[in-house]
Copies of this chain bind each other. A is one copy, B any other.
Amino acid sequence: MEKKLILISNDDSVNAPGLHFLVDTIKDMGEIWVVAPDEPKSGQSSSLTFNAALRITEHEGYENARLFSVSGTPVDCVKLAMHNIVPRKPDLVLAGINHGSNSGNSVIYSGTMGAVFEGCMDGIPSVGYSLLHHSMQADFSECVPYIRKITATVLEQGLPEGVCLNVNFPAKVKIQGLKTVRAARSHWTEEYKQYTDPHGKPFYWLTGRQVNEEEGNEETDLYWLDRNYATCVPCQALQNASASDIAAVARMLESGK
């Protein structure tokens, strides 16, 4: 039987330790093709490049893994990989391990999850892995059994149509288990630091911290990450509201002035 083809991307760049840790963790499970941004692209969401040329560069890979960088975003990487790099349609798209959280509302800003949503929209089972620690020296070792189990299960069983996974791991702790939940509603507060430039003009720099709007709700990822569990959030790419919400809006607009 032909080996399963696994495409791996990320948003921290082709040089990120988390990417190489992920390759090492699952490289016995299939034929590995890595296509990642040539520079860090955190916070790039599902952005794509349509007003500039894209370049592909092959790098020295591993035994059983080929390694490429693309001069674009995580979505560009997955699109260009599908179109021009991998020899056949992947059986699985993975992204990560991200250096930093993609829990709560961070999922919508995440370039890592941008790559995952892109794989999902191509009909490929897709999973993003993230560690709640920004350091390039972060220790990913606690994640290994969880990544191996989730990856093997999804490779074997697939995922429901239109569904992909956003997996987050707590950092610097013994992980207590895995909870499959939904993303907590959250927002960021105190978002900008204001400075004054040498010419007396103001400028602004993004900062702030995430506030959980559903404190104490066991159905959400932030609840379990706070308690040292890993979380798996099943996601949909297309952002359609529920059927009942669609019906409610339809009634509202029909009766509106």
Contacts and interface: CB of A to CB of B under 8 A. Distances in A.
Interface of A: 42-50, 52-56, 75-76, 79-80, 82-84, 105, 107-109, 111, 114, 117, 121-122, 149-150, 152-153, 156-157, 159-160, 162-163, 165, 178, 180-183, 185, 187-188, 191-192, 194-195, 201-206, 232-242, 245-246, 248-250, 252-253, 256-257
A245 B160 contact: yes
A105 B121 contact: yes
A98 to B, nearest CB: 14
Contacts of A44: 45, 47
Contact of A239 (B157, B178, B183): B183
B239 A242 contact: no
A235 B242 contact: no
**A interface SS class:** mixed
Given A50-B43, A256-B157, A236 B241 contact: yes
Contacts of A253: 149-150, 153, 178, 180, 232
Contacts of A46: 45-46, 108-109
A121 B187 contact: yes
Contacts of A114: 45
A74 to B, nearest CB: 11
A245 to B, nearest CB: 5
A157 B206 CA distance: 33
Most buried by B among A75, A117, A180, A201: A180
A186 to B, nearest CB: 8
A238 to B, nearest CB: 5
A187 B84 CA distance: 17
A76 B47 CA distance: 14
Contacts of A233: 240
Given A53-B204, A105-B237, A235-B240, 13 more contacts: A45-B45, A45-B75, A50-B206, A53-B205, A55-B204, A79-B206, A160-B241, A162-B241, A163-B249, A180-B253, A183-B238, A234-B245, A235-B241
